[in-house]
Amino acid sequence: MQLEIKNIEKSFGSKNVLSGINFTFEQGKIYGLLGRNGAGKTTLFNCLSGEMEPDNGQAFLIGEDGHKAVLAPEKIGYVYATPVLPEFLTGYEFIKFYMDINKEHLLPGKTADDYLELVQINQDDRHRLIKGYSYGMKNKLQMLCFLISKPPVMLLDEPLTSLDVVVALEMKKLLREMKQDHILLFSTHILQLATDLCDEIVLLNNGTLEQIDHSMIHEPTFEENIISLLKDESKS
């Protein structure tokens, strides 16, 4: 399975944020989308997920059988930097509702409690309003949604940036376990996170995407190289 992005453009007023994005992402890999603040990472994700209409271009999903279809919103799981969940429900109720909606994707015999067990949300917390959840718990709940619905493409917008070390580690483990069946795009402006978790690094700079040579990732001078790349390109 592949995600093919073709010539996506987006500008706000006179500011050109995405100027012709062309790229193909593959299943089984975690892609780290690296860019400076304001480079357009969230804009790209919003264009892919259908929250925003791109000015130009399209994205396609190419199946294992070679069948190519326009990327539909329901094929995407979007994990936001700040989790968005209906706060009047308890964690248990939300997962039960989410399971009802995504019946066709459920693993046979799994209950809401089984799923909540998976992301280690304990019995007491399950029956509290999401409104009172900590940031980490909300994040886990949001990830759980995508463990349930298994969308082929997952966009993660700086999801680990503000999590504590324990939850961040749990999430990383979860992502590594999930990657075989998904195309994972992980946006961050923290270089360490990208090198630590991702199989490939893609730079978003000056409105275009550029893949970094895989062999560079584990070189000692990698960090400096990336920084000089980001600096040079923003000057040009």
Q: Which residues bind other proteins (CB under 8 A)?
A: 13-15, 49-51, 72-74, 76, 78, 80, 84-90, 93, 96-97, 100-102, 127-129, 131-132, 145, 149
Task: Tell the smallest beta-carbon distance from residue 11 to other proteins (Å).
Answer: 11
Judged by CB, which is closer to other proteins: 8, or 48? 48
Task: Tell the smallest beta-carbon distance from residue 214 to other proteins (Å).
Answer: 32
Rounded-to-integer distance, Cα 97 and Cα 85, Å = 12
Task: Tell the smallest beta-carbon distance from residue 173 to other proteins (Å).
Answer: 24
CA dist 157 → 9, 82, 194 (Å): 19, 9, 12
CA dist 192 → 28, 34, 67, 126, 226 (Å): 21, 11, 36, 33, 12
Which tokens is 77 given? 């799981």
Judged by CB, which is closer to other proteins: 92, or 226? 92
Judged by CB, which is closer to other proteins: 138, or 179? 138
Rounded-to-integer distance, Cα 113 and Cα 128, Å = 14
Rounded-to-integer distance, Cα 137 and Cα 106, Å = 22
Judged by CB, which is closer to other proteins: 85, or 168? 85
Task: Tell the smallest beta-carbon distance from residue 80 to other proteins (Å).
Answer: 7
Task: Tell the smallest beta-carbon distance from residue 155 to other proteins (Å).
Answer: 12
> Phi and psi for 156 in degrees, rounded to 5?
-120, 115
Judged by CB, which is closer to other proteins: 38, or 86? 86
Task: Tell the smallest beta-carbon distance from residue 193 to other proteins (Å).
Answer: 23
Judged by CB, which is closer to other proteins: 144, or 198? 144
At residue 81, the 3 state secondary structure works out as coil
